[in-house]
Amino acid sequence: MGKGPCWSAFSPARIIEEKIIMKSEDGYLKVPCNWDEKQIEGFTRINERSDVALPIKEIYGALPRDPLGTGRPESLTYAADTGKAETYIELAHKAGFRFNFLFNAIVTEGREFEPQVWAALRAKLQWLADLRVEWVTVANQPLLERIKKNFPNFKVSTSVNSEINEVNRVVDYDWAGADRIAVDYLVGRNFSLIKAMRAATRKPLELLVNEPCLVHCTNRLYHQATFCRGSREGATGGRGMNYKSD
């Protein structure tokens, strides 16, 4: 069947303090970046420790603004421009880490099929290809298929925002060409379902180990939709969560 799982972490700070106990022959960690070059040195030191059960092999991140938006608003994304990102990715590669760039907005309004937006997105993908970025992450199947068609050298992963919480959804994304399948955050401890998903595909599965959202959060979709707009190039509003009442 597929290779060992990829365990992704949400917080770059918590991953340094938490010890992952479960071991896997081929398993590894995918961790978020803050675009600080010193962070790469920290990840390298973690991998050198004798008590590390799962090594860090992949780093993921996104810029504050994107043609389609991402899963985090500008206000919750570490500030960086393309120059800073280029330097970080180059250093990450030199240190032996793969890089995964996020296009994980759950609400795109079909903008990826508008010529002007697709041209901007295609230019960004070409920029990443020139940087030898290995992975990109998407949250919907049409975008996955379009990236695989136009940039076949990219490995494409689904997102936890894709809500892959049933075996048939695993099969659908496998058929669409996903190179790795990130399961829904609620699936992480449903071991019987994970076993069924594992049996349904030869693609690696990815599980999120420290989801910050409440279990069955009633505002999850609302937040994700707001975040997409808050990280979209040219958009106003939707910069984050603000529960202050007027």
Give the pLDDT of residue 94: 98
CA–CA separation, 124 and 146 (whole Å): 14
CA–CA–CA angle 109, 111, 117 (5° rounding): 155
- 210, 32 in Cβ contact below 8 A? no
Give the integer Cα–Cα distance in Å for 83 and 229: 24
Which of 6-15, 131-140, 180-189, 219-228 holds the top average pLDDT?
131-140
Structure tokens, 152: 């076949």
Comparing C-alpha atoms, which of 70, 83, 57 is closest to residue 204? 57
| Mean pLDDT, residues 13-39 taken together | 66
Q: Residue 111 has what DSSP assignment?
A: G
Question: Does the pLDDT value for residue 159 go beyond 50?
Answer: yes
Are the CB atoms for 243 and 43 separated by under 8 Å? no
pLDDT value, residue 99: 97
Q: How many residues are present in the chain?
A: 246
Shortest CA distance to 62 belongs to which of 27, 93, 88, 44? 88
How far is residue 95's CA from residue 239's CA, in Å, rounded to a whole number?
A: 33
State the chain's mean pLDDT as an integer.
83
Please report the sign of the dihedral spanned by the C-alpha atoms of residue 28, residue 205, residue 77, residue 215: negative
pLDDT tens, 216-233?
888 777 777 777 676 666
- pLDDT tier for residue 80 given thresholds of 50, 70 and 90: confident
Which of 29, 37, 36 lies closest to 10 in space, CA to CA? 29
Residue 23 banded pLDDT, cuts 50, 70, 90: very low
The per-residue pLDDT for 75 is 66
In this predicted model, what pLDDT tens digit does every residue of 195-221 receive, in sequence order? 999 999 999 999 988 877 778 888 777
How far apart are the C-alpha atoms of 98 and 134, rounded to whole Å? Answer: 6
pLDDT digits (tens, 9 = 90+) for 52-78: 888 999 999 998 877 777 777 666 677
- Residue 244 is which amino acid? K
Query: Is the pTM value of this prediction over 0.75?
Result: yes
